[in-house]
Structure 1
Amino acid sequence: MDRRELAAFLRSRRERISPAEAGLPAGPRRRTPGLRREETAQLAFISTEYYTRLEQARAPRPSREVLAGLARALRLSDAERDHLHHLAGAPPAPAAGPSREVRQSILDLLSRLPQAAAMVISATYEVIAWNDLAAALMEDFSALPPRDRNLVRRVFLGPYPQGRRLYGVSDAGAFARTSARHLRATAARYPDDPGVARLVSELLAGSAEFARLWASHDVCDAPSLRKTFQHPLVGPVTVNCDVLDITDRDQRVVIYTAAPGSPSEEALRLLAVIGTQRMDVTG
């Protein structure tokens, strides 16, 4: 535990937060920038005396519960929270399971891509955020429970209405291979997560194809950069596929765009108008 650095870090983080940001009244005669010590302690659910001793480099090592309260009270970023743990001599524990929390900046990005179908998938291939065009191209994910938003479950276990495996996409077989290999790597990163274990068990029991791929022990594959969706309303839609890694959350942003001036670009424009109101065929 580096008491002096911890004290300086806490003080610097406290002084940068205005009372309004913390939901507190500013009040008259504030002589200190940012929050007062007693306000920070209140927000962190610890005693003012103990917090004061932390800033004076006189306190014993804080528990993980105290560190969590301080991180919340001081509105720390992920990197700052990890730094706080290291200064306190309690390195942050690895994530128990894949994160399903999407940063607001990523959600804003999706909404700012009106001509592209974009979504965020977790390390287990669950669709955890999407924009309107992605819902129109694939399906209305908001109408599904989280379990049914999982793309690896869908590609191996269905359903496949009218023979449309994974929304009728042209590379469904390649996607199946890639997703199985990525899922094996995910299972190694999160060996204690029951959700990952349940998903793997379900796929092994329900899909001979998945069981064969799983038995290969392969953990990487090249993604498809171009694919065609067989859409029930507008027909084939050929798109470029770009994937952006969000490494700190173990998530990926998937963006589908059509070539400018192509029939597929016109199809995406039509889907943007149709939306999900007539999407009565899914799969």
Structure 2
Amino acid sequence: MTTPAWLLEREAGLCPCGCIGKRRKGSFVEKTLNGSAGLLRQVMFSDDLAHRPGLLQRIDPRAKVIGFLALLVAVSFVHSPWMLLACYLATLVLAGISGLPVVFFIKRVWLFIPIFTGIVVLPATLSLVTPGEVVLTLWHWNGHAQGFTAQGLRAAALLILRVAGSVSLVVLLTLTTPWARLLAGLRGLGVPKMFILVIGMAYRYLFHLLTSVMDMYEARKARTIGKQAHDRTARRFVAATAGALIGKSHYLAEEVHQAMTARGFRGDSKVLKSFRFGTVEVAWFAGVAVAAALALGGDSLLVR
């Protein structure tokens, strides 16, 4: 079973010519809830990807966690931008073999890297922070050219590519492993069960409460006649919704705890499918060892 297509489609917009309606600026509440709905669609789509028949989907979650952790350590020791670029391209190949849409995978990674890493690294590319050979002059100071330096640009490229490779590995792990199996794999590796239970419950019921907020807002819109106010009225609605949501979450927590206790819960989660290491996992560990050796060995040759 996969997520229905109509749940993943965005709402149709009005005609740009204005012949079938008038565009109005939405409130901050509506924009926030629309963003939350988009997050729900992405989560459902990601869960469908994790159940596709692919290379990484067939590997035991414990083996995947160990393998990706080893690859993350190997990437952190690479100092050549070209080798880091090769590592990133290898993650694209893994994504394609595992049945992931490559364009979706690239967007999932690069939509966050320029926002956070780029802003942090940008000052380091200037000659005021990183002295060196100026390759792009922006201004002059006391007769000396000031601007982007080759050393600063190389350091920025090194950091951005390292972050891109690391984030790609983490995204590959999360997109090819269902959340329940990933948590069970972490529990099998010795992660404390209380940590696993808190994360699992928070992940599951965060979206349940978010759906409740969206239902409350849709019910309010359906019962409102005329133009909605976007200032004080909207803030009152947010405050009232937050109070109601706290009450719902407390009541839901009590019901869930009683239901789990009635079904024999004693503090440890169970999975329907048992984990075991086989030929696929042995081949996965061998591939990880070869990839890490190639990355570190090629880096030592390029840095010389």
Shorter-chain TM-score: what band?
under 0.3
Q: Could you say which structure has the higher helix fraction?
A: 2
Provide the TM-score with structure 2 as the length reference: 0.25
Q: Could you say which structure has the higher strand fraction?
A: 1
